[in-house]
Chains A and B, each alone.
Chain A
Amino acid sequence: AQSVAQPEDQVNVAEGNPLTVKCTYSVSGNPYLFWYVQYPNRGLQFLLKYITGDNLVKGSYGFEAEFNKSQTSFHLKKPSALVSDSALYFCAVRDTGNTPLVFGKGTRLSVIA
C-alpha cells in the first residue's frame, strides 16, 4: 500500500526567501506524485506532478519539486516566497494510473511579510 509523509505541520518563511515543503513517499511500484494547495474553505488546486521523465518538475505559481528516487522524496520548492503563498499544501501519491490518491497530512505554509 502507498503512503505519504509530510514531516512538518507548519513551515514559516519570510517573504522573498526560498521555501521548501518536505514530502516522502512509499509505494510498491513506480510512483505518481502530486502537490496540491488548499486555501481556507476551498477545494484543492493542482500545483504539479511527477509521472516520469525529468526529476525536476516545474508547476504553477513558480513552484517546483524534485523527485529523488533514492531518498523517496518529492520536496516542494520555490525560490522566492510570496505572502499569497500562505496556504495548506498536500503531497499525494498513487502507484498506478487507476488507484485513488493517498494524501499526506498537509503542511501549513506561512509566509511573513
Chain B
Amino acid sequence: QLQLQESGPGLVKPSETLSLTCTVSGDSMTSGNYYWDWIRQSPGKGLEWIGNIYNSGTTYYNPSLKSRVAISLDSSKNQISLKMSSVTAADTAVYYCARRQQWPSYSDHWGQGTQVTVSS
C-alpha cells in the first residue's frame, strides 16, 4: 500500500527558507510513470499547486512561485524535497505531497499534510 509522509519544521521565520521532505513507502518512486507534486492549502488561497518532479528529475513549477521554489528527488531514500526561500506570512499553509498520474493527470495518493507557520 503506497503511503506518503511529509516532514519538516512546523515554524519558519520570515525571510528564511522552508525545507520539507516527503518520504514514500510501499513502492519505489521511480518504478512507474508518475509525477510527485507539492501542493499547499491555506484559508486565504485554498489549494495551490507548487510544483512537481518526474522520476527522471525533470521539474515543473507554478509560475507564481518559481523564483523561490526548488524540488528535488532522492531515489535512494525514496524521498522528494521542497525548498522555498524568502518566506513570508503568506506562505503559512498545510503542505501536501501527492502522486500524480502521468495522464490523465489527477492525484491519486496524498500525504496527510504538514502545517507550516511563518512567524518570528
Q: Is B one of A's binding partners?
A: no
Residue numbers of A with Cβ under 8 A of B are none
Residue numbers of B with Cβ under 8 A of A are none
